[in-house]
Amino acid sequence: MRRSAPAVAAGLLAIVVVAASGCSIAEPSPRPPSVAPTAVPATPSPTAGSPEWWRAREVTGILASGLAAPWSVVPLEGGGALISQRDDGAVLELTADGALRTAGVVPGVVSGGESGLHGLAVLDGEERMLYAYFGSQDDNRVIRMPLLGEPGSLSLGEADVVVSDIPRANTHNGGRLAFGPDGFLYITTGDAQQRDAAQDPDALGGKILRVTPSGDPAPGNPWHNEAYSLGHRNVQGIAWTDDGELWASEFGQNSWDELNRIEPGGNYGWPLVEGVAERDGFIDPVTAWTTSDASPSGIAARGRTVFIAGLRGERLWAVDTAAGAAVRDPVAAFTGEQGRLRDVVALPDGALWLLTNNTDGRGSPRADDDALLRVDVSPAP
């Protein structure tokens, strides 16, 4: 049984003032022409000696359009991608030539509020597996399914539960999946409105989890269970910079959204503190924003720059990092031009893919929404 949430006084807050905060929302930009997705090489090009810091420059093409509340996008080798849709539980295949088709519907998805089908991750091996995080009738869970068939005709095999009993609610469901450089699966969860869970190392809510591909606690986890870090309210983005550091985006409550450098066994404060608190025992965010400027979801890394997709903020943030610290003021791109942004992915060819989220019930969709966009990047000055 989950404990009830106590009344907790907020800690003393300090904040990194973001130079680009408070930007007025721009008029929507015209969408560029459609383009085919870039092939993803089996072996990413080396980045040694490349610039550390990068900037998003312009949207250069539409990879897919007409998506319904999309949540996660995973590029595939040889071109194309898989895209999850939150409300109908569909996994769409974007083919290498730019066509869009349904690969399958994840069994057991029960949508409602902000819950439904969330993150996807692919693990290649003797049998290629698709992992999916979703809300079922009673919980959030992660399943894996064989990814069957050839590109252009992919389908989903029988599902196998990897992790279950993650708390579910209308909000604060977390939901991002990613395989780390260590080969383990990282799962972000929310507190599901059970605030106490975030500080309880034996609870699955309010955590970043680290498990084997079959769902067992990964060796070396700090509490010898699935938990890798705790004290999170609602993490929806994780990525690794070139120096191997793990970063996570986190929704705040009423004041501050966060970008955190994740340490094994780290306590990030929720619900006892929010934002920069400078209190012993808690790890402060590297960067924080007011919730109107961010509401961060998916993130991606190129070099040592972390790109953060903003929902309410309707912008793509770039945060330059080094040695675990933000070294320059965060920089915003596309403010208000594409609406709500749910996910961002870094491609080995250097480009970004950006997933809009204007059809999730909180945005103002255009005729072609939602869309997967290609964004060019270049080194930061």
Q: What is the pLDDT of residue 25?
A: 56
Q: Mean pLDDT across the stretch 12-24?
A: 40
Residue 149 has pLDDT above 90, yes or no: yes
CA distances from 371 to 36, 63, 120 (A): 13, 7, 17
- The pLDDT-based confidence of 323 (bands split at 50, 70, 90) is low
Q: Would you call 357 exposed, middle or buried from its count of C-beta atoms within 10 A (0-12, 13-18, 19+)?
A: buried
Contact between 230 and 206 (Cβ < 8 Å): yes
Segment among 192-206, 290-304, 316-330 with least mean pLDDT? 316-330
- The string of pLDDT tens digits covering residues 35-45 is 878 655 544 44
Q: What is the pLDDT of residue 14?
A: 35
Please give the structure tokens belonging to residue 123. Answer: 């693990």
Residue 315 has pLDDT above 60, yes or no: yes
Of residues 185 and 79, which shows the higher confidence score?
Answer: 185
Other CB atoms within 10 Å distance of the CB of residue 283? 16
Residue 7 has pLDDT above 50, yes or no: no
**What Rg, from alpha-carbon coordinates, does the chain have?**
19
What is the DSSP-derived secondary structure letter of residue 11? Answer: P
Contact between 265 and 244 (Cβ < 8 Å): no
Q: What is the pLDDT of residue 35?
A: 84
Residue 185 has pLDDT above 80, yes or no: yes
DSSP 267-322: B--TTT--SB---TT-PPPSEEEEGGG--EEEEEEETTEEEEEESTT-SEEEEEEE
